[in-house]
Structure 1
């Protein structure tokens, strides 16, 4: 992969992550689902339990947020292209999550990092591994 191809791949991955945040916040669930590989691996310590599939992850986000509000921001990406079809990235993140009150879950704000792996599938970059490492999470009380 030459330098131009590497830069284009980095830009495509930046767009992928921008869509991740936007589709999640806009509740565009099927478009959100399409951002991930079918064999997505998740590492989100605040939601422990058995390994979840891509569909379980997206359906869980939908149940948690469909009647709620979220605002996600990603910053300062560090993306490394490993080869023509794989890459890794780190994103600083901040979020505000106000779940549907019917879920009984508290609203919170937080910050930390996404550590991700990407794979090219049918010519498009997809997230194949997502790890969220929070540095801070603060509940919001009304």
Structure 2
């Protein structure tokens, strides 16, 4: 196994998540190939949201996770297989989404199913997403009277 490529792919996924949570949309966009696809399944949306192209993926995230939405994403347990300049990966992830203006906290879990492609020596995501979440829990901030958002 190409251990350098393995580490580069891990760092790529971590960068993707960091950019989402910090809302670094220009850097987020650069984690994708130009023709990347994404599919995010959530009970709130019903059917999975399917996005095509780096720009559409970035615009969707920018719109859905604006400055009033706080997110925290954690990924672990990667299962990555590399075949030359292409790779696949499965990641367990958990996320927390806080939308204070709607008094809601969403906590969920799923498994990302990713594809990667190395272009000009740089690994990028060619597909990311999950069909459905293992669980998604919603809490009202009104039910948590001691909750205080400090960021």
> Which category of TM-score, normalised to the shorter sequence, fits these structures?
0.7 to 0.9
TM-score (norm 2): 0.81
Mapped partners of 1:38, 1:66: distance in 2: 23
Q: Which has the higher mean CA deviation after the structures are superposed, 105-114 or 127-136?
A: 105-114
Mapped partners of 2:49, 2:110: distance in 1: 21
Quick check: 2:107–2:138 contact (8 Å CA) kept in 1?
yes
User: 2:122 aligns to what?
Assistant: 124
User: 1:98 aligns to what?
Assistant: 98
Deviation at 1:87, TM superposition (A): 0.3
Aligned residues, how many?
135
Q: Which has the higher mean CA deviation after the structures are superposed, 42-51 or 58-67?
A: 42-51
| RMSD (Å), alpha carbons | 1.9
Runs of 4+ in structure 1 over 4 Å off: none
User: 1:111 aligns to what?
Assistant: 109
Establish whether residue 141 from structure 1 lines up as the match of residue 137 from structure 2: no
Quick check: 2:116–2:125 contact (8 Å CA) kept in 1?
yes
Q: Which has the higher mean CA deviation after the structures are superposed, 49-58 or 22-31?
A: 49-58
Based on CA coordinates, which of the two structures has the bigger radius of gyration?
Answer: 2
* Long gaps (5+) in structure 1: none
User: 1:34 aligns to what?
Assistant: 30
Show CA shifts across 1:31-62 (max 9, x none): 00000011112222335456443212211211
Mapped partners of 2:88, 2:15: distance in 1: 17
